[in-house]
Chain A
Amino acid sequence: MTTANKLLLVPPLLGERGLGGEVPRRRFLQQAALGAVGLLLGSSGLPACAPAASRAHIKGSMRGADFSLGHLLRQPGQLPAPTRTEQVGVLIIGGGVAGLSAKRWLYRHGRTDVLLLELEQGLGGNAAGGQNPVSAYPWGAHYLPVPDARNTELLAFLREAGVITGTDETSGLPVYNEYHLCHDPEERLLIHGHWQQGLVPELGVPAADKAQIQRFFRLVEAMKQAQGADGRDAFCIPLDRSSTDEQFRRLDQLSFADYLAAEGYTSLYLRWYLDYCCQDDYGAPAARVSAWAGLHYFAARKGRAHNAEAADVLTWPEGNAFLVQQLQRGVDRGGIRAATLVYELRETAAGVEALAYDAVTRQTTRILARQVLLATPHFVARRLLAGWADAPALQPYHAPWLIANLTVDGLPQGPGQPLCWDNVRYGSRAVGYIDANHQDLGRDVGQPRVITFYWPLTEAEPDAARRQAYQTSYDQWLQRLLAELETTHPGVTRHVQQAELWVWGHGMVAPTPGYLWGPDEARQRAAQPLRNRVFFAHTDLSGVSIFEEAFYQGIRAATEILAAV
């Protein structure tokens, strides 16, 4: 149909306010723009299929967990001898969410003799955040699903943080701060060259696949409602509150991929989606996580709110760094020290002696604590407890991750749904990017924005992938990153102003088969305190690295510490 005919079909009223005259006009502008592009290309003599644009204009650097300081743990002999001694009641090692949650809990229960030491410059662990003039942005975890209304400790914290603003009188459900609930539109998927709304593949998906997808979500619904013989929910957050019923727990013994195959879930669309979900939350594909964990991802989300649905999430420009900040509110700031490496722990008659090297003053302090809470990844805890009898031994699977924060002044947009908070490409091994400016309230008028790109590096075994990741240069990463982004947004390279990259050697724990509910109960034993002197809190002990678990781990360990006094 010609444009002229199209114009005639639009009733006169519709040249009017509203969407009216937009359609023909848009086509004209598109044609005009095409013409203009043609002119530009023609006049400048640039071939239209020029090789990818140069990366020279992109500023940025390799950031990341303080790799060199952390690796001093391997050569403690190089560190100076202690020059002074300090005494504390509780020493918390690790300033991620679990450590901060424990500190907060202890503080609220009257314990002010608590010192928290963090290796990095900033707190938060894999919930850290950063900032540039364009936006704050996450360096890792970036959202919290609307929690189950029965998770009272978490709800109390969210009230404290202003995330929950009240309670609805009729329903009794929490009312969430609308500025913290993820604004619509939330998610989109690039599939068959078109951006569809939502991440579950729909567009161009054959009916047989759609039927499998529907069957899977019916299963999820059933699992959400399911309860074990002990009366507990089959799947709960924190997961330790899940039913002990064997009919569910035995699902931990096989991989999610095997389970799906056995249940007849063969659709490639569905399997891609479930792989994507496992990569996104666990940093491992469905073949590497247990069926229990794969189902838990969906079936444990039972959030209830007056003004949000179960699938809704809370998010902030800086990601969960917002929550990290809130955890520190009302806690004595003096009791937290960053850039400090604890490199040795020794049991003494009265408790524990720790040697802590301050990277700023380059001095070592001997800290005498009655109790120590190890809120570190398990591999760090093991190294610190190397000389200890009956130190716990776990083998968590930790994939490395690449996180990139890109400042862009435009994102060439394909057809379909406009930019969302979460943007994923079907078929990609990376898990997409989020728009850090998504919660902005102002009119979106094409100013620069920051997008945070997530890439779990799961193509090799974690150790090999980690070594490889550390050996990859900034420029090599940038090249790979842009190649991926160009697939999603052709022509985006020239819009990238800045690219800050961060490699997480141990991004997060993956719940591999048997890790959560294995018969050896290694995970549960690893969380047990050592002689009421050393306590443990970390999502490695949950097997699932989400804010709720870390928050719960901190409270669990703090409760044990309080009980031990």
Chain B
Amino acid sequence: MANEPALLDAPPEPPGTDRRPAGPDYRPALLLGSVFVIATCGLIYELIAGTLASYLLGDSVTQFSTIIGAYLFSMGIGSWLSRFLDAPLLRWFIRLEILVGLVGGFSAPLLFVLFEYVTSFRIILYALVGLTGVLVGLEIPLLMRILENRFEFKELVSRVFTFDYIGALLASLIFPLVLVPQLGLIRTALLFGLLNVAVAAVVLYRFRETRPYRRGLLTAVVLSSAALLACFAYAERVQVYTETLAFQDQVIYSKSTPYQRIVLTRNARELRLFLNGNLQFSSLDEYRYHEALVHPAMQALPQARRVLVLGGGDGLAVRELLKYPRLQSIRLVDLDPGMTELFRRNELLLRLNQRSLLQPKVQVISADAYQWVRQDTARYDLLVIDFPDPSNYSIGKLYSTAFYRELDKLLAPGGRLVVQSTSPYLARRSFWCIAHTLQAAGFHTIPYHLYVPSFGEWGYVLAGRNAHWRPDAGPLPPGLRYVTPQSIRQMLTFPPDMAELPTDVNQLNNQALVRYFEEDWGPYTH
């Protein structure tokens, strides 16, 4: 290998052996052109990593700055490593371009996919940034060495860095203005991966010196381009692109399970979860919602040992329940394993629910709630009912007298249940319909509400077979941010614009609630 003729500084070939017409040697110019392309690609990868990190992890200043730092540092490592590469340098350069194309090109799709599965997402992120940086860091030193005998040193440095910085300028302009809005992050990464591979292909084709090893590298070029192209064509581009426009904030995760579409968005301040387009929580104020869901009931159940949570696959209600050491078992039944898996795996979400779904006391079951309650034979001290709002007939069944009668069978003596009951302000009839339905099923009810900034006024109905409940019946766990005996008392008061009004009872054969809900919310959605 070491005896192969060195590139460009090889002795001129005898006349006539070159099939191409004689003329000026354009090959250095070609290599300088590739400096421009690889510089653009390099900066694009850096921008993608920075953007992705701030999308997925939030806090864009920190993310951008640490990503840029890590990237530049890795480039430094790459530059240093370049000294260990020996002739034939052109072969190394082509290999390098293919590698950069693959690593950089697949970086964005890989990070999007891994976001769900990897607990320590940061490690993967920085490993990928580091790897890309090292590879990109190798490129320029290698090229300068390839070109060193063609130009004077001052000429070489001047030309290479001119093209390098022009490429950087171009990248920094087209990335926010053209690429992200038009292609999205995933396809941008894949496109620039393809450009790197294209540089490899052109060099391979144009430089006759590559003949001895052309076949292997050509195969690599073809396979990598095919992989990148395939990924480009089948990337979930439509959904990611449109959802980014449909939600106010950046979509950082989206998945269609057989049951629903789960979307996570984030901005500088908060993380939001949407199911089928409906906000389920904002990380900023979900504590209000979940504290109010759990504590008014739990503080009055000093003997409670077993709890069943229906819905609530985000584990946030369970997080609140775990604040009571007296509970021996918490069983959560959610329809969608896609939800509970996400909230058991993802680092950000685990931080939010404090790993609640991974606690030994907690049993997570993927089942349809209605089917489950009909066959469950256990008895519970508290049932926490955290279903989506009754916006369609199949969810409406989970708010019916028939369903509440099934719940009655699951209650231990003195047990209670609490039902998230939509907004008593925006959907006043819906809220009171839920309360009246619980009454029709034989329960004493205690309706209450509070203000959750991202939802508005939100309501719950606490229900039991007897009326013995007090807002200050027992101690509350330390560290609550909203619920106190005083705030519970406030929650019990309904001003006139939310006051009780007569409604039908929601039965399977009239689905009164779904109709109220449609009418109540209709004016706000059309």
Q: Please list the residues of chain A having a beta carbon within 8 angstroms of any beta carbon in chain B.
A: 10-11, 13-26, 28-29, 31-32, 35-36, 178-179, 181-186, 307-308, 312, 418, 441-446
A292 to chain B, nearest CB (A): 30
Contact (Cβ within 8 A) A183 B397: yes
Other-chain contact of B525, A17, A19, A308 (Cβ < 8 Å):
A19
A559 to chain B, nearest CB (A): 34
Q: Could you say which residues of chain A place their CB within 8 Å of the CB of B335?
A: 443, 445
Contact (Cβ within 8 A) A16 B279: yes
Most chain B CB neighbours (cut-off 10 Å) among A16, A26, A35, A442:
A16
B371 within 8 A of A: yes
Q: Could you say which residues of chain A place their CB within 8 Å of the CB of B401?
A: 178, 307
Other-chain contact of A35, B238, B422, B427, B508 (Cβ < 8 Å):
B238
Q: CB-nearest residue of chain B relative to A12?
A: B248
Contact (Cβ within 8 A) B509 A21: no
A443 and B276 in contact (CB under 8 A), knowing A13-B456, A17-B389, A185-B393? no
- Nearest 7 interchain pairs by C-beta: A184-B511, A181-B509, A178-B402, A442-B368, A441-B370, A444-B394, A25-B246
Q: Could you say which residues of chain B place their CB within 8 Å of the CB of A446?
A: 258
Contact (Cβ within 8 A) A32 B242: yes
Contact (Cβ within 8 A) B394 A443: yes
Q: Could you say which residues of chain B place their CB within 8 Å of the CB of A22?
A: 276-278, 525
Contact (Cβ within 8 A) B394 A21: no
B267 within 8 A of A: no
A322 to chain B, nearest CB (A): 16
Give Cα A80 to B343, complex, Å: 72
A selection of 18 A-B contacts at a CB cut-off of 8 Å is A16-B279, A18-B279, A18-B422, A19-B278, A22-B277, A23-B525, A29-B242, A29-B246, A31-B242, A32-B241, A178-B507, A184-B508, A184-B510, A307-B507, A307-B509, A308-B509, A443-B395, A444-B394
Q: Could you say which residues of chain A place their CB within 8 Å of the CB of B213?
A: none
Q: CB-nearest residue of chain B relative to A444?
A: B394
Other-chain contact of B277, A26, A307, A441 (Cβ < 8 Å):
A26
Give Cα A85 to B250, complex, Å: 84
Q: Please list the residues of chain B having a beta carbon within 8 angstroms of any beta carbon in chain A.
A: 238-239, 241-243, 245-248, 258-259, 274, 276-280, 335, 368, 370-371, 374, 389, 391-397, 400-402, 422-423, 426-427, 454-456, 458, 507-511, 514, 521-522, 524-526
Q: Could you say which residues of chain A place their CB within 8 Å of the CB of B391?
A: 18-19
Q: Could you say which residues of chain A place their CB within 8 Å of the CB of B524?
A: 10-11, 13-14, 18-20
Q: CB-nearest residue of chain A relative to B402?
A: A178
Beyond the given A18-B521, A35-B238, please list 19 additional residue pairs across the A-B interface where CB-CB is below 8 A: A13-B426, A15-B279, A18-B426, A21-B247, A22-B278, A23-B526, A25-B246, A26-B277, A181-B507, A183-B393, A183-B397, A184-B514, A185-B393, A307-B401, A441-B368, A442-B370, A443-B259, A443-B368, A443-B394
Q: Could you say which residues of chain A place their CB within 8 Å of the CB of B400?
A: 178
Contact (Cβ within 8 A) B511 A185: yes
Give Cα A180 to B320, complex, Å: 38
Q: Is the interface of A mostly helix, strand, loop or mixed?
A: loop
A3 to chain B, nearest CB (A): 8
Most chain A CB neighbours (cut-off 10 Å) among B239, B277, B280, B395:
B277
Other-chain contact of B371, A16, A181, A442 (Cβ < 8 Å):
A442
Contact (Cβ within 8 A) A441 B374: yes
B249 to chain A, nearest CB (A): 10
Most chain B CB neighbours (cut-off 10 Å) among A10, A13, A26, A418:
A13
A35 to chain B, nearest CB (A): 6
Q: Could you say which residues of chain A place their CB within 8 Å of the CB of B426?
A: 13, 18
Other-chain contact of B279, A17, A28, A183, A441 (Cβ < 8 Å):
A17
Contact (Cβ within 8 A) B427 A18: yes
A551 to chain B, nearest CB (A): 22
Contact (Cβ within 8 A) B402 A20: no
Give Cα A263 to B395, complex, Å: 45
Contact (Cβ within 8 A) A16 B238: no
Q: Could you say which residues of chain B place their CB within 8 Å of the CB of A182?
A: 509
B182 to chain A, nearest CB (A): 14
Contact (Cβ within 8 A) B510 A20: no
Give Cα A185 to B400, complex, Å: 14
Contact (Cβ within 8 A) B389 A18: yes
Q: CB-nearest residue of chain A relative to B371?
A: A442
Q: CB-nearest residue of chain B relative to A24?
A: B246
B400 to chain A, nearest CB (A): 7
Q: Could you say which residues of chain A place their CB within 8 Å of the CB of B241?
A: 32
Contact (Cβ within 8 A) A14 B525: yes
Give Cα A178 to B403, complex, Å: 10
